[in-house]
C-alpha cells in the first residue's frame, strides 16, 4: 500500500499521486514512520525557538518559530522528515530550494534566509512566516473569487514568478496550495508564492540535470503543463501555463479539463481544448476578452502562449477592464479565428 503524507489517504502500490491534493505518495510503512520530529521547544542555531508544527508535506514538516536573537520576529522552519534524511535526492532538492530561495528576495516570493542542520542530522531551511490563507483554501471557502480580486492576485503571482524567471529559475510546481494570500496593513490583499523545492535553473549543470531527470513525476499533476507531462525541457512559459490554470480555478472553482482519474485528466491536457469558462459557470459574467486571454495562456504549444508571466498578467488585467484593444487580441484572433 501507498499513503498520502499530506491527507493520509491510502492507495494501491501502483498509485503515484494522491487524487485529492496531488501529493506524491510514499510507502505506507515509511509514511507511518515519518512522524514529525520532536522540535517544539527547541532552539535552532541559538536563535530560532520552535513554537508549534503548522504544516506537513510529502517530504517535510513546517514549524512556526520565534527569532529570539532578532527582535522576536516569526519565521517558518521547514525540516526534512527523518525517514528521508538519508535520501540523497530529497536532501539535494531541499538544499537546492535553499540556494534558490536565498536569491529570490521579493515581496511576492517567500524567500529563504537560512539553511541549517540539527544535532540529530535533520536539515532545515528558515523563511519569513507568511501569515495568511492558502489560495486553495480561500477558493474552496468562497467557491470562486471576484474578478477584481483575481486580477490583483494574478499580478502578484506573476511578479514573483518574474523575479525567479529573471534568474533563469522555473518554479515547476505552481498551484493554489503554493500561494499564500495575506492582508497588508492597508487592507489590500497580496499573493506570495511559496515552495521553490522543485524549482530548476534553465542553465542546469550535469548533476542538477540528473536530479531532475525524473521531472515528469515531480510537481502536481493537475497543474503540470503539457511539456512537463511529457518530460520535455521547461522554461518560463510552463509557469505561465500553470498560472493560467490557477487563474481559471480562482474564477470558477474548477479546472478546465475533466477526467475520472488522474491519468484521464493528464491525457485531456495533452489532447483536448480547455472547457470554456461559461460552460463551467453559466452564471459567470465576464468581459469576452478574459476567455481569450486564458485560452492563450493554456495553449498546448508553449510558442502560442504569452512569453512571460507579466505579459499574461497585463493582458488579463486589460481584458478584465473591458479593454478590447489589449496587445493579446491580434494573436488571439489568429489562434481562434476571430
- If one compares 295 and 3, the residue with the highest pLDDT of the two is 295
Is 11 part of any domain? no
Per-residue pLDDT of 273-303, as tens digits, reads 899 998 988 888 899 899 999 999 999 999 9
Instruction: Answer yes or no: do 124 and 185 share one domain.
Output: no
90 and 159 co-located in one domain: no
Number of Cα atoms under 13 Å in the Cβ half of residue 42: 13
Q: Within a domain: residue 5? A: no
Q: Does 9 fall in a domain? A: no
- Domain of residue 61: give its range: 37-128
Given a cut of 70, whether residue 310 has pLDDT beyond it is: yes
Contacts for 12 with CB less than 8 Å, ≥ 6 apart: 1, 2
Please give the pLDDT value at position 218: 47
71 and 188 both lie in a single domain: no
Q: How many domains does the chain have?
A: 2
pLDDT for res 99: 77
Asked if 171 and 285 sit in the same domain, the reply is yes
The residue count of the chain comes to: 338
Q: Are residue 124 and residue 147 in the same domain, yes or no?
A: no
Which pTM does this prediction carry? 0.78
- 12-59 pLDDT, tens per residue? 666 767 666 566 666 654 444 445 667 899 999 999 999 999 887 666
Q: Which residues are catalytic?
A: 173
**Of 88, 106, 128, at which residue does a domain stop?**
128
User: pLDDT tens digits, residue range 139-166?
Assistant: 999 999 999 999 999 999 999 999 999 9
> How far from 101 is each of 107, 162, 170, 200, 266, CA to CA, in Å?
13, 14, 12, 12, 30
Q: Which of 66, 98, 128 is a domain's end point?
A: 128
Amino acid at each position: 500500500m501507498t499513503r498520502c503524507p499530506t491527507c493520509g489517504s491510502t492507495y494501491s502500490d501502483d498509485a503515484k499521486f494522491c487524487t485529492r491534493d496531488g501529493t506524491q505518495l510514499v510507502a505506507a510503512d515509511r509514511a507511518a514512520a515519518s512522524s514529525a520530529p520532536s522540535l517544539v521547544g527547541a532552539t535552532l542555531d541559538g536563535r530560532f525557538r520552535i513554537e508549534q508544527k503548522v504544516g506537513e508535506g510529502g517530504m517535510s514538516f513546517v514549524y512556526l518559530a520565534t527569532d529570539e536573537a532578532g527582535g522576536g520576529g516569526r519565521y517558518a522552519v521547514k525540516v526534512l522528515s527523518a525517514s528521508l534524511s538519508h535520501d540523497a535526492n530529497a536532501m539535494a532538492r531541499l538544499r537546492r530550494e535553499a540556494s534558490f530561495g536565498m536569491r529570490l528576495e521579493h515581496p511576492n516570493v517567500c524567500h529563504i534566509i537560512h539553511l541549517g542542520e540539527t544535532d540529530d542530522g535533520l536539515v532545515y531551511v528558515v523563511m519569513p512566516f507568511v501569515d495568511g490563507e492558502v489560495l486553495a483554501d480561500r477558493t474552496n471557502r468562497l467557491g470562486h473569487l471576484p474578478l477584481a480580486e483575481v486580477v490583483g492576485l494574478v499580478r502578484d503571482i506573476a511578479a514573483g514568478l518574474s523575479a525567479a524567471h529573471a534568474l533563469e529559475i522555473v518554479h515547476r510546481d505552481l498551484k493554489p496550495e503554493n500561494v499564500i494570500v495575506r492582508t497588508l496593513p492597508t487592507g489590500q490583499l497580496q499573493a506570495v508564492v511559496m515552495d521553490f523545492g522543485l524549482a530548476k535553473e534553465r542553465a542546469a549543470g550535469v548533476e542538477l540535470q540528473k536530479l531532475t531527470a525524473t521531472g515528469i513525476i515531480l510537481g502536481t499533476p493537475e497543474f503540470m503543463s503539457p511539456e512537463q507531462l511529457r518530460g520535455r525541457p521547461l522554461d518560463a512559459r510552463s509557469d505561465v501555463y500553470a498560472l493560467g490554470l490557477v487563474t481559471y480555478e480562482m474564477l470558477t472553482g474548477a479546472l478546465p479539463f475533466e477526467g475520472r482519474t488522474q491519468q484521464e485528466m493528464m491525457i485531456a491536457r495533452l489532447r483536448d481544448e480547455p472547457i470554456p469558462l461559461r460552460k463551467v459557470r453559466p452564471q459567470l459574467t465576464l468581459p469576452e476578452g478574459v476567455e481569450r486571454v486564458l485560452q492563450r495562456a493554456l495553449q498546448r504549444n508553449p510558442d502560442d502562449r504569452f512569453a512571460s508571466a507579466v505579459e499574461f498578467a497585463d493582458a488579463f488585467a486589460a481584458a478584465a477592464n473591458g479593454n478590447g484593444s489589449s496587445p493579446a487580441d491580434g494573436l488571439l484572433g489568429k489562434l481562434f479565428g476571430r
